[in-house]
Structure 1
Amino acid sequence: MMTVSGSRLRTILARVGAQEDLNFLLTNRLPRRLATRFMGWFSRIEQPLIRDLSIATWRLFCDVDLRDAQETRFPSLHAAFVRALRPGARPIAADPALLTSPSDAILGAHGRIEAGRLFQIKGLPYPLAELLGGDLALARAHEGGCYATLRLTAGMYHRFHAPHDLRVESVRHIWGDTWNVNPIALKRVEALFCRNERAIVRLRLAEGGHAVTLVPVAAILVAGLRLGFLPEGLALRETGGRTIPTAAPLAKGAEMGWFEHGSTIVVLAPPGFALCPGLNVGSILRVGAPLMRLPPLPGSPGR
């Protein structure tokens, strides 16, 4: 077995720390809002040379797989970011006892919601009520429930889908910053998800009438969140933070909206839900994959 001396280990750790410092500096100490607005403009340029160079650079630095995209060519980098998938590219777990992943993602912090707190990484809690924009009643409704943090990288499929047959009850947009949500930033910025722009999407499942909440969180270089079930022409950022009631029915796997770059979705379930066995921090999920198990219906055998 190869051993590493104490001095060599310290050198390696220092190098890793320096790389993290550089990553954090480049992605969080630059003018985040300005960079985000610029990226939102630049990514939409449809000039062929700029488009081709942009997509090639994106694919060079990110793990991008466009083989399951509905289109084979894109007019701009933005169009590639928000690409739709060809039919059948994401099989949806049909079992009504399962809440499925709303997005392609890497599973981050997850577990039981206790004392009104979640964790963004191990050892770094943050208050659920703050994530929910100060909604204490909604936070209490999820106390003792289950949560899962789903991180979408820049190269992943950026659309998100209904995790069950459901009705969207309301949406509330919360203005915020655009911190990077990568693991390095999560280790260094307290309550990061509570700082960033986000939406509170309240759902009512057809199975058992359970109330589930999705919190899509925007990040640096994200030009916005789009929710396809809202009335046409309604811009989230122009709603002034008020709660928008809806009654949009969505079938399991139906498209809900999209990010315009990589980001995060925090899934909040009420008591009785449990993360599916075999899932751990770092697990790779795809839209429609099992994420949580619902509690048994009253009078039915355990699931």
Structure 2
Amino acid sequence: MSLVTALTYVLPHRLLSTLARRLAYSDNPRLKQWLIDTVTRKFGVNLSEAAQPDPRAYPTFNAFFTRALKPGVRTPDPDPRALLMPADGRISQCGRIEDGRIFQAKGQSFTAAELLGDEAAAEPFANGLFATVYLSPKDYHRVHMPWTGTLRETVHVPGRLFSVGPDAVRNVPRLFARNERLACHFDTDFGPMAVVMVGALLVSGIETVWSGEEVPEYGDTITVKDYRTGDDGEPITLERFGEMARFNYGSTVIVLLPHGAAELAEGLSAESPVRLGQVLARLAQATP
């Protein structure tokens, strides 16, 4: 375990993330430009793909970090049976949910019930599939829908804010089931689908397209929001490849699929670099 990972056990996670948030939203010209230039240089951000390629045009560091892409830079796979990769990044792990457990790293796993904050919510995913996608600071930080779905509910599960970098994933037990997270539950034509947005140290801001900022506010109890009927009496349905949420900084998104619904794309494995819109999995059979 690295010294940085070891220190995260004792660091004041929420305080540090709150301070980082203030920096990210600062419109001080020198500060925001220093942050943008530092991240662009250190991580090799490709601004040529951005809808706004001029790094000086962003009013805050957060605006830069959650930047939109040019139209057509990412496109959905044309296979009508393809569930899509929800974000740019790399696969941390993917595979079968075995005995209700999700593999994190060698010697590390956690249960789907722990991740979702609910035993009953985890039942449909028993022996199903999972894919954990890590977004690095250089990546596009908006998360899109793998498949068309109608939002049923969100579950905000409070927790710590450990780093989700490779060393922490290898060494912090049950990392993704301990960090602050927002589980988004959708009903689809193949059954339930969960997309879990996991926060991290200095990376705890999560927004959704249907209700705006979800994290922070930090909480100490699980908060469930029922969306089966929207404010206007209509359900919230998001189309395949449509934007659903974004991270203010980078982090991790985990997709859960029910048993028998699909098979992971061939060649997809830990450390695979991935891009939004490529094939995550294929439906086991054509949907009606």
When the two structures are superposed, what TM-score results if normalisation uses the length of structure 1?
0.85
Structure 1 residues 190 and 67, CA, compared in 2 at 3 Å: closer, same or farther?
same
SS of residue matched to 1:216: strand
Does structure 2 retain, via aligned residues, the 8 Å contact 1:173–1:237? no
Q: Which residue does the alignment assign to 2:159?
A: 176
Letter of the 2:178 partner, please give it. R
Alignment-derived partner of residue 280 in structure 1 = 269
1:138 corresponding residue in structure 2 = 121
- In the superposition, relative to structure 1, how do residues 179 and 168 fare at CA in structure 2: closer, same or farther (>3 Å)? same
Residue of structure 1 in register with 2:5 after alignment:
24
Asked if 1 retains the 8 angstrom alpha-carbon contact of 2:90 and 2:271, the reply is yes
Pair 1:191-2:186 in alignment: no
2:243 matches 1:255: yes
**1:237 Cα deviation after fit:** 3.4
- Tell me the equivalent position of 1:152: 135
> 1:16-95 alignment to 2 at 5 Å?
21-25=2-6, 29-71=10-52, 72=54, 73-95=57-79
Task: Indicate conservation of the 8 Å contact 1:109/1:122, yes or no.
Answer: no
CA deviations 1:51-99 (Å, max 9, x no partner) are: 2211111123223112111123211211111111121121111323111
Q: Which runs of 5+ in 1 are unaligned?
A: 1-19
Whether 1:100 and 2:77 are equivalent positions in the alignment is no
Distance 1:165 1:253 in 2: 8
Task: Tell me the alpha carbon deviations over residues 211-254 of structure 1, each in whole angstroms, 9 at most, x when there is no partner.
Answer: 11111100011241101123x68777378633212231111111
Q: Pick closer, same or farther for the CA change 1:173–1:151 going to 2, 3 Å.
A: same
The aligned counterpart of 2:217 is: 237
Distance 1:126 1:87, change over 3 A: same
SS of the aligned residue for 2:236 comes to: strand
Instruction: Write the letter of the residue equivalent to 1:53.
Output: W
Structure 2 unpaired stretches of 5+:
228-234
Quickly say closer, same or farther: Cα 1:280–1:238, change in 2 above 3 A. closer
1-structure distance, mates of 2:63, 2:111: 36
Number of equivalences: 276
Computed over aligned residues only, the root mean square deviation of the Cα atoms, in angstroms, reads 2.1
Which of 232, 256, 274 matches 1:268?
A: 256
1:131 alignment partner, SS class:
helix
Q: Give the direction of change, closer, same or farther, for the CA distance of 1:234–1:153 in structure 2 (3 Å limit).
A: closer
Residue pair 1:198, 1:217 contacting (<8 A) in 2 also: yes
What is the Cα deviation at residue 121 of structure 1?
A: 1.1
1:168-209 alpha-carbon deviations (Å, 9 max, x no partner): 11111111111001110111110011111101111122xx33
Equivalent residue letter for 1:265: V
TM score, norm. by length of structure 2: 0.89
Q: Which amino acid aligns with 1:67?
A: S
- CA shift at 1:29, angstroms? 4.6
Shift of 1:25: 4.4
Change in Cα spacing, 1:53 to 1:238, as seen in structure 2 (3 Å) is: closer
State the structure with more CA Rg: 1
CA deviation after TM superposition for structure 1 residue 153, in Å: 0.7
Taking only the aligned residue pairs, the percentage that are identical comes to: 33
